[in-house]
A and B are shown apart, each in its own frame.
Chain A
Amino acid sequence: MQHISQIVFIITLGVFGFLAYKRVSFLRNCINLGKKELPAGSKAQRLKEMIFIAFGQKKMFKKPLAALLHFFVYFGFLIINIEVLEFIIDGITGHHRVFAPFLGKLYPVLMNIFELLALAVMVSCLIFLSRRNILKIKRFWSAEMQSWPRLDANLILVIEVLLMLAIIHMNTADQILQERNTHYTATGKLWISSLMIPAFTALDTGTLIFIERFAWWFHIIGILGFATYVTYSKHLHIFLAFPNTYYSRFRPKGHLNNMPDVTREVSSMLGLPGATATTENPVEIGRFGAKDVHDLTVKNMMEAFSCTECGRCTAECPANLTGRKLSPRAIMMATRDRAEEIIKNKIENEEKSLLDGYISREEINACTTCNACVEACPVNISPLEIIMQLRRYIAMEESGSPAAWNVMFQNIETNFAPWKFSASDRFTWAENQE
């Protein structure tokens, strides 16, 4: 009889483990749709960037209040997960508060810290909820933030509040039981949960045991469910922010990646040395630029799944700010949606693609390449790189750039300047001024 709950627990753990495994391989397949190219960088550079940006959340602090609240939630969850470890061992072995004997006097101190953090997480989440839903901060209400993305953001905040409430309730019931029944490990008075004791003392022992057990199961299943849910949500950034910032771009933001295929062709056209003779061993030239997610890199794909949908990029985007359709956040969300669709439906060849199917030319053409989105992103994502790859496809594979750009191209080809001035007039500025 006594072992039933242990068996149920182990089965629960197994089910969630399986779900997580399935989902992780799905996500891996999505990200691996991209070409295996990663931005250059040394190990030291990468580690440093990851520690500052992901672990230290450096870029979040451009908005100090949001950063502080976010830090509570993030740090709170990180620490409270130590308690989850205890939950899991308890659940498997049938113990109660298995760490208590080992930690001795330290245990109640730890429990108090956990409770304080739980309170901080709860308060932060409530403030976040009101910022989203009562203050209606603009970046949370734009076009791409309807239906699921908005629900997702709210759901997670509500779940976090409920999970924290469960911990507090469990501790309250537990403390009363400690006094009534020596079987319960003594933790002493805990700062937050003890405040609720008066409301619970009237209850009989059976009810209290039920509350304690219910809260325990609620919390652990909640946490396991949360961990699974995260993989379906923008909250994947909890994990992916780390590899994503590790593989950051370290070149100046103004630099655009070179296309070696083009360099090879142009060199041989101009008959330059270094142009390898490609006749005997023609290199398979891929598509120029990107039409679909296969043409992007794993880095681009990792970014699509790391995006927190915070909209800081879109809030700074000059095109979006002045009412144009372009939103760098929407670019990232579209890339992710397209990858998921391909893997989910095992699509190999079809008419639909990222360009036109998910991202319109009107959006692509409106970008000023100003890098405001890249600068603003708290996890170092570059929506600009995807935009530029799509532009390259349109210009080079389709010659489909806006007419005015084609005129500009022609001017450069014939006059060596983007305007229709004669090349022979280039130096006249030095002759007849003032």
Chain B
Amino acid sequence: MAKDMNIPTMAEKTGKGEPVEVLFWVGCAGSFDDRYKSVTLDMVKILNHAKINFAVLGPEETCTGDPARRAGNEFLFQMQAMANIQVLNGYEVHKIVTTCPHCFNTLKNEYPELGGNYEVIHHSTYIQQLLDEGKISVEGGFFKGKKITYHDPCYLGRGNNIYEAPRRVLEALDAGLVEMKNCKTKGLCCGAGGAQLFKEPEKGDEDINIHRTEEAVNTGANIIATGCPFCLTMLSDGIKNKELENNVEVKDISELIIKDIK
């Protein structure tokens, strides 16, 4: 399948002297995590479908440094950030789309202080724009009768006040959108942020992702939608823990859109 896709790199495009409109920042999870690689590919399909002139950094991309910064290692963060900024500025990148709210937050809010100024868009907002502009559209019907609940990633919601775009995208699908009691500004964390994904949790009564999964399952939704690789992992683990794999799916919004794209 991947062979049919058009995935140009910045190096190729620049080599041919072709300008690039949008850089798709894939992120570490999108590059290495088996589950999230399919989200990356679905995002590429959407970009191809909408005939967007985009490119990826491919082998030149490296970690934004976010987990290092959140764990307190500012040196490592800035080393990563400055190296990335050199590459991005070298290609004269103006606009970046990313499928990870952590990359999004870092690139958008934290790179400017280090000399990297770009228009950074999370894929939920980008997909919403593509829908609004008519560059992509959905059949409607694939999700008929399904119930979807949306889990707000912290770095998208509270971190950057993006609550509506992902919901607007989900509303475009022909499904019922149900909210958890703790949603939007009161959305409960999946437990992975702040570099928690990279270590065992501290002693407690219960794992945070299990708690959040219960809240999601209690809405009666068949699909838990989100827009973050870490939330996706944590909630999928929660569903496995509850042995509900056959009843509830955990999906990124791009995966849902691609199923029903016209």
Residues in chain A within 8 A of chain B (CB atoms):
251-256, 258-259, 262-263, 265-267, 269-270, 272, 274, 288-289, 316, 318-319, 321-326, 362, 365-372, 374-375, 388, 391-396, 401-402, 404-405, 407-409, 412-413, 416-419, 421, 423-427, 429-434
Give min CB distance, A43 to chain B, whole Å. Answer: 23
Report whether B109 and A324 are in contact in the complex, using a CB–CB cutoff of 8 Å: no
Q: Which of B138-146, B170-178, B195-203, B253-261 is the interface stretch? A: B195-203
Given A253-B158, A372-B189: A417 in contact with B63 (beta carbons within 8 A): yes
Cβ of B116 under 8 Å from chain A: no
Give min CB distance, B148 to chain A, whole Å. Answer: 23
Cβ of B179 under 8 Å from chain A: no
**How far is B125's CA from A223's CA once the two chains are assembled, in angstroms?**
54
Instruction: Give every chain A residue within 8 A of B63 (Cβ-Cβ).
Output: 412, 416-418
Closest residue of chain B to A258 (Cβ to Cβ) is B113
Report whether A368 and B154 are in contact in the complex, using a CB–CB cutoff of 8 Å: yes
Given A267-B82, A433-B2, A433-B41: A396 in contact with B75 (beta carbons within 8 A): yes
**How far is B211's CA from A376's CA once the two chains are assembled, in angstroms?**
19
Interface residues in B49-91 (C-beta closer than 8 Å to A):
56, 58-59, 61-63, 65, 67-76, 78-80, 82-83, 86
Interface residues on B, range: 35 or more
Report whether B67 and A262 are in contact in the complex, using a CB–CB cutoff of 8 Å: no
Report whether B74 and A262 are in contact in the complex, using a CB–CB cutoff of 8 Å: yes
Report whether B105 and A255 are in contact in the complex, using a CB–CB cutoff of 8 Å: yes
**How far is B65's CA from A50's CA once the two chains are assembled, in angstroms?**
35
Give min CB distance, A261 to chain B, whole Å. Answer: 9
Report whether B73 and A419 are in contact in the complex, using a CB–CB cutoff of 8 Å: no
**How far is B79's CA from A280's CA once the two chains are assembled, in angstroms?**
24
Give min CB distance, B123 to chain A, whole Å. Answer: 16
Closest residue of chain B to A433 (Cβ to Cβ) is B2
Contact of B159 among A259, A371, A413 (CB under 8 A): A371
**How far is B195's CA from A401's CA once the two chains are assembled, in angstroms?**
11
Given A370-B154, A408-B195: A319 in contact with B72 (beta carbons within 8 A): no
Residues in chain B within 8 A of chain A (CB atoms):
1-2, 5, 7, 9, 26, 28, 30-32, 37-38, 40-41, 44, 56, 58-59, 61-63, 65, 67-76, 78-80, 82-83, 86, 105, 109-110, 113-115, 154-155, 158-161, 185-186, 188-189, 191-196, 198-208, 211-212
Contacts between chains A and B (CB distance < 8 A), count: 218
Instruction: Give every chain B residue within 8 A of A424 (Cβ-Cβ).
Output: 59
Instruction: Give every chain A residue within 8 A of B79 (Cβ-Cβ).
Output: 266, 269-270
Closest residue of chain B to A432 (Cβ to Cβ) is B2
Contact of A366 among B76, B202, B211 (CB under 8 A): B202
Instruction: Give every chain A residue within 8 A of B68 (Cβ-Cβ).
Output: 408-409, 412, 418
Closest residue of chain A to B67 (Cβ to Cβ) is A418
Given A288-B74, A425-B32: A322 in contact with B208 (beta carbons within 8 A): yes
Report whether B72 and A321 are in contact in the complex, using a CB–CB cutoff of 8 Å: no
Instruction: Give every chain A residue within 8 A of B31 (Cβ-Cβ).
Output: 417, 426-427, 429
**How far is B71's CA from A323's CA once the two chains are assembled, in angstroms?**
21
Report whether B72 and A254 are in contact in the complex, using a CB–CB cutoff of 8 Å: no
Beyond A252-B161, A289-B74, A433-B2: 16 further Cβ-contacts under 8 Å? A263-B114, A274-B115, A322-B207, A368-B189, A368-B193, A370-B189, A371-B158, A388-B70, A391-B72, A412-B76, A416-B80, A417-B63, A418-B198, A423-B62, A427-B59, A429-B32
Give min CB distance, A425 to chain B, whole Å. Answer: 7
- B7, B37, B78, B191: which has the most chain A beta carbons within 10 Å? B78
Contact of A426 among B32, B114, B200, B202 (CB under 8 A): B32
Report whether B109 and A430 are in contact in the complex, using a CB–CB cutoff of 8 Å: no
Given A255-B109, A416-B63, A417-B31: A409 in contact with B73 (beta carbons within 8 A): yes
Give min CB distance, A323 to chain B, whole Å. Answer: 3
Instruction: Give every chain A residue within 8 A of B200 (Cβ-Cβ).
Output: 404
Contact of A323 among B69, B159, B160, B205 (CB under 8 A): B205
Give min CB distance, A217 to chain B, whole Å. Answer: 48
Closest residue of chain A to B70 (Cβ to Cβ) is A369
Report whether B41 and A434 are in contact in the complex, using a CB–CB cutoff of 8 Å: yes
Report whether A368 and B41 are in contact in the complex, using a CB–CB cutoff of 8 Å: no
**How far is B161's CA from A317's CA once the two chains are assembled, in angstroms?**
18
- B63, B185, B201, B203: which has the most chain A beta carbons within 10 Å? B63
Report whether B158 and A372 are in contact in the complex, using a CB–CB cutoff of 8 Å: yes
Report whether B205 and A322 are in contact in the complex, using a CB–CB cutoff of 8 Å: yes
Report whether A368 and B76 are in contact in the complex, using a CB–CB cutoff of 8 Å: no
Give min CB distance, B98 to chain A, whole Å. Answer: 13
Give min CB distance, B24 to chain A, whole Å. Answer: 11
Give min CB distance, B217 to chain A, whole Å. Answer: 16
Closest residue of chain A to B186 (Cβ to Cβ) is A316
15 residue pairs bridging A and B, Cβ less than 8 Å apart: A254-B158, A258-B110, A266-B75, A272-B82, A319-B202, A321-B188, A323-B205, A370-B194, A393-B72, A402-B199, A404-B198, A405-B198, A409-B73, A418-B63, A430-B58
**How far is B61's CA from A421's CA once the two chains are assembled, in angstroms?**
14
Closest residue of chain B to A273 (Cβ to Cβ) is B115
Closest residue of chain B to A361 (Cβ to Cβ) is B202
**How far is B79's CA from A265's CA once the two chains are assembled, in angstroms?**
10
Instruction: Give every chain A residue within 8 A of B115 (Cβ-Cβ).
Output: 274
Given A404-B199, A418-B28, A421-B32: A256 in contact with B69 (beta carbons within 8 A): yes
Report whether B61 and A426 are in contact in the complex, using a CB–CB cutoff of 8 Å: yes
Instruction: Give every chain A residue within 8 A of B204 (Cβ-Cβ).
Output: 319, 322-324, 366
**How far is B60's CA from A423's CA once the two chains are assembled, in angstroms?**
9
Give min CB distance, B45 to chain A, whole Å. Answer: 11
Report whether B32 and A417 are in contact in the complex, using a CB–CB cutoff of 8 Å: yes
**How far is B33's CA from A174's CA once the two chains are assembled, in angstroms?**
79
Instruction: Give every chain A residue within 8 A of B205 (Cβ-Cβ).
Output: 322-323
Report whether A392 and B1 are in contact in the complex, using a CB–CB cutoff of 8 Å: no
**How far is B83's CA from A431's CA once the two chains are assembled, in angstroms?**
26
**How far is B44's CA from A416's CA once the two chains are assembled, in angstroms?**
23
